[in-house]
A and B are shown apart, each in its own frame.
Chain A
Amino acid sequence: MSVVEQWVVVLIIIFVYLAITLAAGIMASLRREFSVEEYVAASRSLGPVVMYFLMGASIFSAFAFLGGPGWAFGRGAASFYILGYCALGLLPWYIFGPKALRLGKSKGYVTQAQLASDRFKSPALSAIMALVSVLAFIQYITLQMKGIAYVFNVTTGGVIPFWAGALIAYGVVFVYVFLGGVRSVAWTNVLQGIMMVVLAWSLGLYLPYKLHGGPAAMFQKIAETNPGHLIIGPEGAMSYAAFSSAILVSVLGFAMWPHLFMRAYNAESEATLKKSVMLYPTFAIFMVPVLFIGFSAIGVVPEGAITANDQVLPWMVTNMGFSPLVVGLFAAGTMAAAMSSADAITHGAASVYTIDFHKAVLQRNLSDKATVWVTRIAVVIFCSAAYYLAIFGGQSLVALLLGAYGSIVQFFPIVVAAFYWPRATAPGAIAGLLGGVFVNYAIQLKLWTPPIDIHSGIWGLILNVVLLVVVSYLTKPMEEEHVRSFVEA
């Protein structure tokens, strides 16, 4: 088959996928005009299957097909941390989730920072949390756009340039967030989820068998040529300290992402919430074949063929004589993974900015109609910022965003204090958060090099907790009835 036909087929598959997604989003928006109730009620009628894929979409981002295999290829056993992260990441939510849900119901919260700022009676806390979240979200969206643009470009043999791929992604996510109702987002996520799982398992098993005669033979080969690649520790791929602390940070930090935290306010009941937590470890099992893909590339992808580990799977799919149908499905699957995360994050970023920053600090008496418009403008601004960063880089900004990305885990002590420690005060919470974020930035910007190879989030948490406790005890306790209502919720 000639090269021309190849990219045409790939492009057709991608556009069919995009058309289905767009159609679902637009249909939901037409429905909304008939009845707001239907649009909203759909979320209360979501069954366990749909909820399951909705939750899964947050793990299966562009990272799943680019970063995951890249880690296994380049960093070997270090990638096992991803499995631990997927399996354990949502566990704290089994404890916190129902509490957040009950408080949300009784006090009318829709965001994470609303809960924190109400508990501590501090709009400043809300503003700081919103700022950190939004910067982290922009980084997250940028990663998704970059992933989509890259895959778009490579699988079409360079026909779709980087800027156009990112722009198309931008456009579709944009429409998604604007028009797509909860029902359509949920159902496209189911389709996207099935596509991703099928892709992960078929490629994850096919590649080791085709290239090495099976996973066992593949690992045997790796063990003989490079035994350190498959273990952790001093002779291994990653130090014990780095590996263990990375898992620990994800367990503490994962549920602190505002868009996941907000799920507690979407769930119909405690049972639904706990069920999605219960089912979550299965996504870690789905990641196993994804890592197989990366390992199968060892000794196959020639030295210098790729410039970054993330490119390993796209390189294999486009250079190993696959039919254009497979290449197209791969491209659509990766885009599905990236877009199903991007919509939730874009929506989360805009809501957090509007409610936790704009309404909390700038304009307290904003009407409902104006609020919707502020949210929409925020969507445009954040998408544009992410697009700019994805295309032009902007190195000075990247450090700022990465620092925020690593700082999300610093919300953990605030949430624990809000739920379990009545003595915590606003100055304590703010001092702790700022201290934790500061340490994270100091390490990120290489102003301070920690003595041991432990995740920067842990160093931040140490100072965070110390400041939270010490400053809280040094300041006047808050009103007893108010703080106890959070502990008793």
Chain B
Amino acid sequence: MSQKRNPYAFQIFRSGTSAESRRVSIIAFIYLLVCGLAMIWPIYTIANRVYPIILGMPFSMFWIAFWIVMTFIGLIFLYRYEFGR
């Protein structure tokens, strides 16, 4: 298959990237994409209100802060997976 491949085609992974590494990259990408999409339209519309006020923040602000923490947690796992121990 790799022999027939168009050398000029759009290519995300380097040749020889293991299947597992590809899988982890794709999962991490989707997870972080979700974190980002949660902060913008249209998903953000469900969180875009003042009440309830949580941790002193209106819900519209708490929601963003929550996804920031989720982004951070996701990155910690990703980093530990790659360079852990």
Bound-complex Cα distance A79 to B25 (A): 32
Nearest B residue to A472 via CB reads B8
Contact of B72 among A236, A282, A292 (CB under 8 A): A282
Question: Nearest 5 CB-CB pairs, A to B?
Answer: A215-B56, A244-B40, A423-B8, A240-B41, A87-B68
> Beyond A278-B76, A484-B7, is A232–B36 a contact (Cβ under 8 Å)?
no
Q: Which of A324-339 contact B (CB under 8 A)?
A: none
Can you list 19 A-B pairs with a CB-CB distance of less than 8 A? A83-B61, A84-B39, A84-B40, A84-B64, A86-B68, A87-B67, A88-B71, A223-B50, A231-B49, A231-B60, A243-B40, A247-B39, A271-B82, A278-B75, A278-B79, A291-B61, A420-B11, A423-B9, A480-B7
Instruction: Tell me, yes or no, whether A230 is within 8 Å of chain B by CB.
Output: yes
Q: Which of B29-85 contact A (CB under 8 A)?
A: 32, 35-36, 39-42, 44-45, 48-51, 53, 56-58, 60-61, 64-65, 67-69, 71-72, 75-76, 78-79, 82-83
Contact of A422 among B11, B40, B64 (CB under 8 A): B11
Q: Which of A232-258 contact B (CB under 8 A)?
A: 232-233, 236, 240-241, 243-244, 247-248, 251
Nearest B residue to A80 via CB reads B64
Instruction: Tell me, yes or no, whether A116 is within 8 Å of chain B by CB.
Output: no
Instruction: Tell me, yes or no, whether A421 is within 8 Å of chain B by CB.
Output: yes
What residues make up the interface of B, taking CB atoms closer than 8 Å to A? 7-12, 14-15, 32, 35-36, 39-42, 44-45, 48-51, 53, 56-58, 60-61, 64-65, 67-69, 71-72, 75-76, 78-79, 82-83
> Beyond A247-B39, A422-B8, is A281–B61 a contact (Cβ under 8 Å)?
no
CB pair B50–A231 under 8 Å, yes or no, is yes
Interface of A is mostly: helix
CB pair B57–A233 under 8 Å, yes or no, is no
Bound-complex Cα distance A421 to B9 (A): 6
CB pair B79–A230 under 8 Å, yes or no, is no
Interface residues on A, range: 35 or more
**What are the residues of chain A within 8 A of B32 when measuring CB–CB?**
91
Nearest B residue to A417 via CB reads B10
CB pair B68–A83 under 8 Å, yes or no, is yes
CB pair B41–A281 under 8 Å, yes or no, is no
Bound-complex Cα distance A79 to B14 (A): 39
> Beyond A219-B58, A227-B50, A243-B40, is A274–B14 a contact (Cβ under 8 Å)?
no
Instruction: Tell me, yes or no, whether A285 is within 8 Å of chain B by CB.
Output: yes
What residues make up the interface of A, taking CB atoms closer than 8 Å to B? 77, 80, 83-84, 86-88, 91, 94, 208, 214-216, 218-220, 223, 227, 230-233, 236, 240-241, 243-244, 247-248, 251, 271, 274-275, 277-278, 281-282, 284-285, 288, 291-292, 420-423, 477, 480, 483-484, 487-489
Q: A88-B71, A251-B36, A284-B68 are in contact. List 15 more A-B contacts (CB 8 A).
A: A83-B68, A84-B39, A91-B36, A231-B50, A233-B45, A233-B48, A240-B45, A241-B41, A243-B41, A243-B44, A281-B69, A421-B11, A422-B7, A477-B8, A483-B8
Bound-complex Cα distance A247 to B43 (A): 14
Nearest B residue to A84 via CB reads B39
B51 CB, nearest partner CB in chain A, Å: 8
CB pair B83–A88 under 8 Å, yes or no, is no
B55 CB, nearest partner CB in chain A, Å: 8
